[in-house]
Amino acid sequence: MSDGNAIELRDVVKQFGDVYAVDHVSLRIRDGEFFSMLGPSGCGKTTTLRMIAGFEYPTSGEISIHGREMSTTPPHQRPVNTVFQSYALFPHMTVAQNVAFGLEMKRIAKSEIGPRVQEALDQVRLTGFAERRPRQMSGGQQQRVALARALVNSPEVLLLDEPLGALDQKLRKELQLELKGLQRRVGITFIFVTHDQEEALTMSDRIAVMSQGKVLQVGSPTEIYERPTCKFVADFIGETNFIDGTVIEHGDNYATIETADGLKLRGITPRPVAIGEAATLSIRPEKVRMFAPGDAKAEHAFTLPVKVELVSYIGSDTRVTVRLNPQRTLDVWEQNTFSTLDRDAYWQPGEPAVLVCPPDNALVLTE
């Protein structure tokens, strides 16, 4: 009866007083996938996770775990385990006692608990730490204890609430890869809550982008980055340039807009548009190309005349801010595929330039 779905949320609402923390969310999380819920703080991602764990019950709607309706099942009766943002390790217990806790609660035989705890600690590379207290360990080690304490119960789904949030950047990167590798090995469904888009893109099979209690888009990292269906997602994931205009012409999956200045630009339409509709062209800084005026390569149907305003050399890239009109600047990132000290090879502030916006690299968004 599970249809390959580990978790299914049907029209789930969570209200706190008058506030909709989660606003009619429906999601299907497949068995064995690494699923991320991504959004700014207060978007409802943690509340959604807490409802799956059972710490909160939905105001309305249904939550199923492997096809069993569990909206109001208390947390200790759900086949899921959580890795908390603060780790929530029991400070009065040793690492081994922490990891054994879930097995003891399930009344697993004592003789079986020892080896399983050992195995779980080996899995997170904490062999030999069994008798330590949590407070004698570093943040990264505590994080792994939390992981072992959850995984030892062989949950059907593992819930992770910003588990890397408290760690420094370098450790984060390491643990991201480790976590992804672990998920592949154990084959358990991971639901990962984060506000860090890079983290979500690196680790996830699919991502749900949330804002103000709503799921705006669900898709693979490439889909989310390359085909955002609304301005919020385009803006929240990575960086992008927005140019406002009106739809003057469209096909099945593309549309052309005209700006107030009379410039025409074309892009892909993830959702149907209508002529005369207000729309925004979204094009990412690395997907624009910039040439000197008169350069043969600047001969293109969709170009923007601009003036270079700011040039930031950051090693691998040069990031250029150009001015389109008095109200609007655009960002252009050019990879430094050459190696030279010649100043003329780089853009200089004040230079005129032409931006080429290939329609395949741009999106026309109406929401």
Near other proteins by CB under 8 A, which window of 47-55, 57-65, 198-206, 327-335?
A: 47-55
Choices 7-15, 83-91, 258-266, 331-339; region in contact with other proteins by CB under 8 A: 83-91
Sheet of strand 5-16, all strands in order from the earlier edge strand to the far edge: 19-30, 5-16, 60-65, 68-69
Nearer to other proteins, 63 or 233 (CB): 63
Pairing relation of β-strands 278-283 and 241-250? Answer: antiparallel
If binding is defined by CB under 8 A, does position 47 make contact with other proteins? no
Site for other proteins in 284-323 (CB under 8 A): none
Binding mask 52-71 for other proteins (x = CB under 8 A): -xxx----------------
110 lies in the site for other proteins, by CB under 8 A:
no
Q: Tell me, what amino acid is at 114?
A: G
76 touches other proteins by CB under 8 A = yes
Residue 19 in the binding site for other proteins (CB under 8 A): no
Q: Are 7 and 155 in contact (CB under 8 A)?
A: no
Please, what is the minimum distance in Å from the beta carbon of residue 133 to other proteins?
9
Q: To the nearest whole angstrom, how small is the minimum distance from the Cβ of residue 159 to other proteins? A: 8
* Choice from 4, 40, 74, 272 touching other proteins (CB under 8 A): 74
User: Which residues 6+ apart lie within 8 Å of 68 measured at CB?
Assistant: none
Q: Is 105 in the site for other proteins (CB under 8 A)?
A: yes
Residues 115-144 contacting other proteins, CB under 8 A: none
Strand 189-194 and strand 157-161: the pairing is parallel
Kindly determine how many residues on this chain lie close enough to bind other proteins according to the rule CB under 8 A: 23
Contact flag: residue 192 with other proteins (CB under 8 A):
no
289-291 sheet: strands from edge to edge: 289-291, 352-356, 303-313, 317-325, 328-335
| Residue 81 sits in the site that holds other proteins (CB under 8 A) | yes
- CB of 65 or CB of 281, closer to other proteins: 65
**Near other proteins by CB under 8 A, which window of 23-31, 72-80, 192-200, 300-308?**
72-80
What residues numbered 148-187 form the site for other proteins, per CB under 8 A? Answer: 149-150, 153
Beta strands in the chain (DSSP E): 5-16, 19-30, 34-38, 60-65, 68-69, 80-83, 157-161, 189-194, 206-211, 214-219, 241-250, 254-258, 264-268, 278-283, 289-291, 303-313, 317-325, 328-335, 352-356, 362-365
CA–CA distance, 324 with 340 (Å, rounded to integer): 29
Choose, by CB under 8 A, the member of 34, 35, 101, 129 that binds other proteins.
101
Sign of CA dihedral 219, 221, 227, 231: positive
Show the beta-strand stretches assigned E in 130-250.
157-161, 189-194, 206-211, 214-219, 241-250
Query: Contact positions toward other proteins, by CB under 8 A?
Result: 53-55, 74-76, 80-82, 84, 86, 88-92, 101-102, 105-106, 149-150, 153
